[in-house]
Structure 1
Amino acid sequence: MSSPELSVVSLRPTSAPTAPTTDEARIEPPEWLSEYAKEAWERLAPFYQLSATDVDEFAAYCETLAEFRESSEVISEAGLLIIDPASGMPVPNPIQMVRNNADRKIAFWANRFRR
């Protein structure tokens, strides 16, 4: 009994992608993206050769970057510690958990789209 041949498929590009040369090659961001995610898309998409099959994953990456940015802004305004209304004592700002989760997701998506 012989084993079947398996091929390895890499999701990473084999060379550094270049910006599209024509507007026809440009993939538009989904309409449902948040404003921060649309900004991330506009800033990063020209560096990748995105296809129609990449849209949802790249959108998730951009939304994760937006989530990190927004949670960082909240922490910047409110601080790392907030006052617990029940005890009156300082406690860690719970939005830090959102930012920490976004940080982990960024690492995942950045690895997926590493150039």
Structure 2
Amino acid sequence: MGKRGPAGKPTALRVLHGDRKDRINQTEPTPPETEIVPPEWLSPDARAAWDRLAPTLIQRGVLTAWDLDAFVVLCEALGRYKTATKLVNGSALLVPAGSGLGPNPALRVQADAERIFLTYAARFGLTPSDRQALKTETGGDAHTNGGADRLLS
């Protein structure tokens, strides 16, 4: 069973909100500030999603080196969703199956990709309801202009 209750508040937000010192993780690990590049094996549709989304997420400090694999899953799910949607739009919703008609298998692929995308998109604040809970630097690179280090000093 997973953790219960609401997701934990990031340390930087705890500091901003003035949480008690004993509730602030002073030894929270931080990812290294390394260049974040897409893996060469990304599918073309996933690479298009990467190119569209990654630059601003990196700039805001939302996408870090430790988040790379999760972001790749998000991009690949978006690519699969696009491919499945093209298949669904180009054919019937019901196709011959067994002794009659059944749902187009591309609908299942589309629904699975949508579910995966929305799950991971929430982690990166890519939906309006999830984005409202994030607080980030608005100008420049969040790693050099602020973050928990700046707030805790």
1:32 aligns with 2:41: yes
Aligned residues: 95
* Among 110, 119, 122, the residue aligned to 1:108: 119
Counterpart of 2:51 in structure 1: which amino acid? Answer: E
User: Deviation string for 1:48-74 (max 9, x for gaps)?
Assistant: 023221211111100010111111111
Provide TM-score, normalisation by structure 1.
Answer: 0.71
Provide the alpha-carbon RMSD of the alignment: 2.3
Distance 1:95 1:38 in 2: 21
1:75 aligns with 2:75: no
Matches of residues 26-65 of structure 1 in structure 2 within 5 Å?
A: 27-49=36-58, 50-65=63-78
SS at match of 1:48: helix
Q: Which has the higher contact order (CA 8 A, sep 6+)?
A: 1
Distance 1:109 1:102 in 2: 11
Same amino acid, percent of matched pairs:
37
Residue 90 of structure 1 deviates from its aligned partner by 3.0
Residue 30 of structure 1 deviates from its aligned partner by 0.5
User: Deviation string for 1:34-92 (max 9, x for gaps)?
Assistant: 110000000111120232212111111000101111111111112211123x53x3321
Structure 1 stretch displaced more, 104-113 or 47-56: 47-56
Instruction: Could you list the structure 1 runs, at least 4 aligned residues long, displaced by more than 6 angstroms after superposition.
Output: none
**2:136 matched to which residue of 1?**
none
Distance 1:59 1:91 in 2: 32
Distance 1:33 1:102 in 2: 16
SS at match of 1:82: strand
Counterpart of 1:66 in structure 2: which amino acid? Answer: G
Which ranges in structure 2 are unaligned for 5 or more consecutive residues?
Answer: 1-7, 14-33, 126-130, 132-153
Which ranges in structure 1 are unaligned for 5 or more consecutive residues?
Answer: 1-7, 15-24
**1:10 matched to which residue of 2?**
10
